[in-house]
């Protein structure tokens, strides 16, 4: 049997289900570590729509335990990270081979069973070998992939930037920018935003969109600057278009970069990433981990589906 954390009409339920079997082109992964994301917390609290009775979670790493028809047997036993978006195989991007940029992907933990389970079934195109990375590091590949997308926007390293929101994705985005030679980037906590100079920054990355954050972003950007939209708020956020037009601002969304590039980036920056990785706790502690009132926004927390992966938290330094 396989443990699985489901979001049912009455709330989160930990159930035992038969170990799944892979279909054509699929693999079964024995999940070792699964990251806890703000998206998962929103699903757990009922703030984000999810297909009823699906397993929660989308950031994971583990060992390939079984392969379906058409999948090379070399995958058996492979240590892998999971790209959490199943491609539709029908849109223009999928037909051109860009399945990671599918226009209509099905997200694990929302549109199909996710990673907070002992076993996860995905198409083989969603698994990536992780080399010498630990499985906890590998489970962090999805957030890194999201942060790396900022480097795909063509911003020059000599620009002056600010990241609004002193949280995990803000700290990670700052690390990614610093590793690419951006030396004039400030991470700003919400409590410090009022002190930021107006019309000062060449680009701004929002990491936790709200009406207040967007208003500050528009204020601190110089005319002609770039506003990078990074977060995925579960509710509409106000944006004063009059200021956007008056300042001739550029608005650009930063979604995801290449997943294999994220794995390689972690391998090159393991020492820098380590302070962002928090504790890995047992799945049975799901209520506190997902529904608790206090969450450490500085560190990523994980579920350790494999007891050997349980770890204590480490101190996380502030970055300014």
Q: Is residue 216 part of a domain?
A: yes
Q: What is the mean pLDDT of residues 187-193?
A: 90
Q: How many domains does the chain have?
A: 2
Same domain, 179 and 206: yes
Note whether 204 and 279 are same-domain residues. no
Could you give the CA distance from residue 175 to residue 299 in angstroms, rounded to a whole number? 14
d(C-alpha 56, C-alpha 115), whole Å: 6
CB 317: neighbour CB atoms within 10 A? 8
Cα–Cα distance for residue pair 139/215, rounded to 1 Å: 34
Give the Å distances, CA to CA, from 135 to 24, 27, 68, 148. Answer: 26, 18, 23, 20
Quote the DSSP letter at residue 314.
Answer: -
Residue 29 lies inside a defined structural domain of this protein:
yes
**Beta strands per DSSP E along 267-320:** 277-281, 300-304
Question: Residue length, the chain?
Answer: 320
Whether residue 169 is found in the same domain as residue 200: yes
Say which range, 41-50, 104-113, 196-205, has the weakest mean pLDDT. Answer: 41-50
pLDDT in tens, 144-157: 999 999 999 999 99
Residues 53 and 124 in one domain: yes
How many other C-beta atoms lie within 10 A of the C-beta of residue 255? Answer: 12
pTM comes to 0.91
Query: Which is more confident, 280 or 95?
Result: 280
Confidence category of residue 177, pLDDT binned at 50, 70, 90:
very high
Query: What tens digit of pLDDT does each residue of 217-239 get?
Result: 999 999 999 999 999 887 899 99
Q: Would you say residue 273 lies in a domain?
A: yes
- Helices and strands, number each (H, E), in the chain: 10, 17
Q: Determine the pLDDT at residue 292.
A: 67
Domain, as residue range, for 305: 2-129+269-309
């Amino acid at each position: 049997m396989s443990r699985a954390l489901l979001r049912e009409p009455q709330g989160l339920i930990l159930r035992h289900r038969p170990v799944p079997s892979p279909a054509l082109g699929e693999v079964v992964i024995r999940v070792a570590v699964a990251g806890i994301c703000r998206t998962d917390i929103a699903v757990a609290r009922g703030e984000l729509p999810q297909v009823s009775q699906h397993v929660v979670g989308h950031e994971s790493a583990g060992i390939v335990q079984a392969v379906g028809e058409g999948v090379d047997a070399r995958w058996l036993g492979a240590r892998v990270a999971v790209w959490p978006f199943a491609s539709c195989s029908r849109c223009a991007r999928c037909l051109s081979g860009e399945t990671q940029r599918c226009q209509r992907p099905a997200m694990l933990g929302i549109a199909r069973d996710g990673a907070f389970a002992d076993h996860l079934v995905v198409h083989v195109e969603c698994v990536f070998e992780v080399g010498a990375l630990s499985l906890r590091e590998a489970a962090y590949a999805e957030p890194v992939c999201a942060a790396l997308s900022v480097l795909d926007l063509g911003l020059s390293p000599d620009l002056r930037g600010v990241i609004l929101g002193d949280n995990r994705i803000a700290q990670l985005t700052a690390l990614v920018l610093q590793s690419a030679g951006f030396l004039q980037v400030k991470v700003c906590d919400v409590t410090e935003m009022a002190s930021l100079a107006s019309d000062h920054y060449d680009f701004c990355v929002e990491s936790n969109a709200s009406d207040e954050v967007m208003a500050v972003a528009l204020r601190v950007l110089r005319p002609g600057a770039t506003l990078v939209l990074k977060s995925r708020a579960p509710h509409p956020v106000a944006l004063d278009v009059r200021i956007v037009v008056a300042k001739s601002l550029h608005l650009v969304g930063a979604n995801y970069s290449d997943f294999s590039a994220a794995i390689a980036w972690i391998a090159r920056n393991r020492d820098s990433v380590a302070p962002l990785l928090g504790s890995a706790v047992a799945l049975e502690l799901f209520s506190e981990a997902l529904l608790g009132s206090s969450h450490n926004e500085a560190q990523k927390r994980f579920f350790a589906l494999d007891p050997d992966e349980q770890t204590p938290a480490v101190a996380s330094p502030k970055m300014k």
